[in-house]
Structure formats: C-alpha cells, structure tokens
Amino acid sequence: MVAHAETIPKRHHPLLAFAARWLFTTNHKEIGTLYLWLSFLLFFIAGGMAMVIRLELFQPGIQFAQPEFYNQVLTLHGLIMVFGAVMPAFVGLANWMIPLMIGAPDMALPRMNNFSFWILPFAFALLLSSLFMEGGAPNFGWTFYAPLSTTYGPPSTDFFILGVHLMGISSIMGAINIIVTIVNLRAPGMTFMKMPLFVWTWFITAFLLIMVMPVLAGVVTMMLTDRHFGTSFFQAAGGGDPVLFQHIFWFFGHPEVYIMILPGFGIASQIIPTFSRKKLFGYDSMVYATAAIAFLSFIVWGHHMFTTGMPFVAEMFFMIATMLIAVPTGVKVFNWVATMWRGSITFETPMLFAIGFVMMFTIGGFSGLMLALVPADFQYHDTFFVVAHFHYVLYPGAIFGTMAAVYYWLPKWCGHMYDERLGKIHFWSATIAVNMTFFPMHFSGLAGMPRRIPDYSLQFADFNMVSSIGAGVLGLTQVFFLYIVIKTIRAGARAKARVWEGAEGLEWEVPSPAPLHTWNTPPVITEGQAH
C-alpha cells in the first residue's frame, strides 16, 4: 500500500524488485497487507461459489449445477470462507495492528511471519486445483464427516488433506508469533490489563488456535491413514467408529468458530468507545468474559452431534455447557451497550459496522441459544435454521467486524480518508442484503428444509427466491467495497495521525500513513493511560 523505497533490494528489473520485496518481506505491516489482500481475494472466490449455490437454489429443480458439482462448490465455499477469508483477514489485522497498539517495532518472529503467510497461497492453490481433477473437488461439506470423506471421498481428498495441513501450519505459526509478540514486546508500562481489547482477544484466540489446529491436523492425518495405510480409525469394519470422527472434528470445530469471532469482539471493543467518546465499560469483565468463552468452547462440542444417538446424560451436559456460553456473551453485549450509554455518539462508517455487528451477531447468538435446547435441536439440526444461525454469527459477525476494522484503520494504513458517503451506502446496502439473504433461511429451516441440498420441494420456493435475490445484492455490495478500498488507497483527503477525534491508543500516535518502521523507540505508558 505504501511505497518504501529504502527497503527495496537493488535489482535490475523493477518487476523482480517488486516480487522480491513482497516475497522476502519480514515487515509486519507489509505482511499484514499481504494477508488482507489474500483474504480479500479468497473472499471473492468463495463468495462467487456462494453465488453458484444461491443461483441453483433460486428455483426448485436443477438448473445450473448438477448435484455432484453443487456439493463440491458447497464444500469449497465453506472451507475457503473459514480458512481463507475470515482467518487470514484477522491474522492480517493482527499483524498490522498488534505491534502498533502495544508499542512494538515489529512482530517477535519476523521470518516465521513471512513463512506463515507464504504457505497460504500454495495451500489454497492446492485446494482450488482439485476442482479440475478427475473425480472433482472434495464434495463432503466443510465438516468432511467420515466415511463420506474417507472410504467414499474422491481422489482429490488427499490434496484437501495436504491443503488443510498447510493452512494449519500457517495458522499455528501465526498464532505462536502473536503470543510471543504480546508477551515479549509490550512497551514499558503496558501491563496485560492495560492492553487494548483487540490485543487481548487476539491473545486468547491465538491460544485457541495453537490448541485446536493440531487436533484438526490429527484428524486429517487419521483420514489419510484410513484411506491409504490400512488403519480403521473411522471404519466400523476394522473396529473403528465414524462417530469418533465427529467427536474429534468438533473438538477442533467448536473452538474454531470462536477463533472466527473473538477478534471481532476485540474490534467492536475498540470502535464503540471511540465513536461514543467514552471509555469501554467494564474492561476487566470484557477480558474475563473472553477467557470464559474460550474455556467453554472446549466443552461444548457435543452440541453439534445431538442426533448421533448420544446418551441422555451426555446430551444434558452439552446442553447446559452450551447455554452457559450465553452468560459471558451476554456480558459482552451489555458492556457494549453500556459503553454507548450517555456517550456522545457519532455514526461514521466503522461505528455503523460495529453496531451492525453487535446487533446481528446477537441475533445469531439468540438462534444459537435455541439450538442448544436438545429437543428443539432435533427439529433444527441440519436444516436451514442452522445455516441461518451460523451465517448470522459469521457474516454480520466476523465479516462485518473485519469491515468495521478496515474502515477504522484504513486511513492509518494508507494515509487517506475513505469517502464517508460511499462507506455509508456500502453499510446500508450490505445490511439490508445480509438480512434479506439470511433471515428467510430461519423460516425455510423451520418449515423443514434440510441443508446441503441442491434441489428442494415447492413449499420452500418463496423463501429461497428471497434469499437468492438478497445474496446477489450482497455480492454486488462487496464489489462496491473493493471499489471503495481501492479508491481510498489511490486518493482521498489526507488523514491526521489521530484519525478519529475520540480515539485512544498507541496506534494513533504514529503518523498516517504509518511509516514502515514504527516504535523503534518504545513509548512509555504512564499510570494514568490505559487501554
């Protein structure tokens, strides 16, 4: 984004110099930029797949995608959105902002940082290339339940397994880097309980990543040995158990969904105080609530499996543990409202996205609470109600959170203000489209529409048509977002160092655009300053 002549190694050809700069960079800001662009690209690829899905579901009958191809698109949409769009976007934000926010000159492990990014393009190239292979891409959903993915998986499943390993290694290295940076590189006086909430949520998220990504790696390794080396972890024939797969997968999978939302909580906790011109309400309880959510995420995995024939006692345990998550999550939402309370609020685009995040994430949280009730879950499970639920927490949650962060910090990154009018148009059109896409899914699910089907009976037609129209509009609004971002990078009003008048934090003490090297002399945080 920002040209920094002094770092460009001497090369004869400018293209070579350009490639070398980005390939070999160890600068946290440049790597952050790379992460953000990669996730943006993958967001559009997986979004394009969502368009294929919605196009096929626009009407009953098979029009555009044969069932086999539909399943492949569905699988890649989920995998790429989770591992390619949401997670790298958050890692990118962490790379850019954490050193700035804690007064560190760079990440603690810069070369590992470079490596963990450059694995990713290969991982996703591998995954996407499976679309063109004999037998097609993986077609078993992003949850890849055995034995559909083991015994019955297409040949490309092995490429999928390798791709997952690469993504996992990248995420683990990224997470290690973030923890080591936070522990070792905080500026003098920046105690843990003075860290900005975004740093705190990422600190906890990084621990979740280090603890669950290896479990994912383990489960795909077991798949690989089941497929090729004669083991039977998941095959009843050899004494294994397909349900074991689900237990291990969801032991990874549930913390994973919090990995995709906790940094979003951090972002909302930065933005809402700024535009309310008031300190974050209940900082301590925000930290504890985040830690509580992270802890609980390890003991609720069974709520994804209520219909697998679990005994009563296990169902009760997972139901109650799941309901408990509502308590710390509620604390967070109440704290955000209390932060706004009697503030002096303005509604710039980042604030709009943050408020949209809080509200619509809460709707997703509500449906999550309903899903925890085991008897009702028997009716909701694997229907579009679940699809509505997790898209409400992920789209207006994780993705709106990321967009709020981009509008909030983009002036700091590139030194230009975005066009406020365009930002507002983007927010309102995206909000309307998001609700139009995902709200009717609650109804089609309650009416009995199973998820992951390319074709459906006539009673679901109206809801699906609304969803599909909404999805088309939603896709366009994100193309518009791309336009806004590019426009801002190229030109715009000059941004001040403290971009937002109510903003607090070290990132606003460096000039905009942030120079390539910041905080070479660490700032000193005095007693009075906090988060």
Which of these, 163, 314, 169, lies nearest to 224 by C-alpha position? 163
**The one among 86, 355, 499, 506 contacting another protein by CB under 8 A:** 355
The answer to whether 41 and 454 are in contact (CB under 8 A) is no
Q: Which pair of tokens denotes residue 436?
A: 């139009």
Q: Is 531 a catalytic residue?
A: no
State which of residues 37, 60, 489, 509 lies at the interface with another protein (CB under 8 A).
60
Q: Segment 484-523, which members bind another protein (CB under 8 A)?
A: none
Nearest alpha carbon to residue 234 among 141, 148, 143: 148
Establish if 524 lies at the interface with another protein (CB under 8 A). no
Using CA atoms, how far apart are residues 222 and 211, in angstroms rounded to an integer?
Answer: 18
Show contacts with another protein in window 224-283 (CB under 8 A).
233, 235-237, 239, 241-244, 247-248, 251, 276-283
Residue 254 known to be catalytic: yes
Which residue, among 124, 254, 109, has the nearest Cα to 182 in the 3D structure? 109
Give the shortest CB-267-to-another protein separation in angstroms: 16
Active site residue 332: yes
Q: Active-site residue 304, yes or no? A: yes
Nearest distance, CB of residue 382 and another protein, angstroms: 4
Give the separation between CA 505 and CA 411, rounded to whole angstroms. Answer: 15
**Binding marks (x or -) toward another protein, 65..84, rule CB under 8 A?**
-xxx--x-------------
Residue 170 designated active-site: yes
Give which of 265, 270, 266, 193 is closest to 529, Cα–Cα: 193
Our answer to whether residue 269 is catalytic in this structure is yes
Interface stretch with another protein, choices 34-42, 89-97, 142-150, 474-482 (CB under 8 A): 142-150
Total residues contacting another protein by CB under 8 A comes to: 143
Helix, strand or coil, per DSSP, at residue 432: helix
408 a catalytic residue: no
Q: Which amino acid makes up residue 480?
A: F
Under 8 Å between Cβ of 101 and 505: yes
Q: CA–CA distance from 514 to each of 28, 116, 271, 415 (Å)?
A: 12, 23, 19, 8
Residue 41 or 446 having the CB closest to another protein: 446
The yes or no reply on residue 366 touching another protein (CB under 8 A) is yes
> In the block, which residue shows the tokens 């600190």?
203
CB of 124 to another protein, least distance (A): 22
Catalytic residue among 304, 389, 426, 442: 304
CB 93 within 8 A of CB 36: yes
Cα-based distances in Å from 5 to 14, 17, 99, 114, 137: 12, 11, 22, 19, 43
Among 18, 24, 192, 428, binds another protein (CB under 8 A): 428
Applying CB under 8 A, which of residues 52, 109, 195, 506 lies at the interface with another protein? 109
Q: Does 45 bind another protein (CB under 8 A)?
A: no
Q: In whole angstroms, what is the distance from residue 197 CA to residue 203 CA? A: 10
| 462 is annotated as an active-site residue | no
From the list 454, 458, 451, 335, the residue with the least C-alpha distance to 388 is: 451
Known catalytic residue at 451: yes
Contact region for another protein (CB under 8 A) — 123-131, 190-198, 373-381, 479-487?
373-381
381 φψ region: left (φ > 0), alpha (ψ -120 to 50), beta (else): beta
The residue from 171, 297, 437, 488 that is catalytic is 171
Report residue 416: phi and psi, to 5°: -115, 145
Chain Cα centroid distance, residue 222: 26
Kindly tell me the sign of the dihedral angle through the C-alpha atoms of 270, 190, 185, 9.
Answer: positive
Instruction: Find the part of the chain contacting another protein (CB under 8 A) among 16-24, 76-84, 323-331, 510-518.
Output: 323-331
Interface map 437-476 toward another protein (x if CB under 8 A): --xx-xx--xxx-xxxxxxxxx---x---x---x------
Closest approach of another protein to the CB of residue 10, in Å: 29
Q: Which of 254, 412, 426, 531 is catalytic?
A: 254
- Take residue 314 and report the two structure tokens written for it: 């296990």
Q: Which of 132, 135, 160 is nearest to 75 (CA)?
A: 160
Nearest approach in angstroms of CB 89 to another protein is 21
CB atoms under 10 Å from CB of 526, counted, come to 9
Q: How many other β-carbons are positioned within 10 Å of the β-carbon of residue 13? A: 9
Mark residues 155-194: x for contact with another protein by CB under 8 A, - for none. x----------------x--xx--xx--xxx---------
Of the ranges 188-196, 339-347, 409-417, 486-494, which one interacts with another protein (CB under 8 A)?
Answer: 339-347
Nearest Cα neighbor of 500 from 197, 271, 194, 267 is 271
**Closer residue to another protein in complex, CB, 128/210:** 210
In the complex with another protein, the residue whose CB is nearer, 264 or 513, is: 264
CA distance 244 to 259: 23
Of 94 and 215, nearer to another protein (C-beta) is 215
How far is 256 from 13, CA to CA, in rounded Å?
A: 43
228 is catalytic: no
Which amino acid does the sequence have at 361?
F
The reply to whether 140 sits near another protein by the rule CB under 8 A is yes
Based on the residue annotation, tell me whether 258 is a catalytic residue of this protein. Answer: yes
- Out of 20, 148, 187, 422, the residue judged to bind another protein by CB under 8 A: 148
36 versus 81: smaller Cβ distance to another protein: 81
- The question of whether 4 is a catalytic residue gets the answer no
314 touching another protein, by CB under 8 A: yes
Q: Which residues are catalytic?
A: 77, 106, 142, 170-171, 254, 256, 258, 269, 303-304, 329, 332, 451
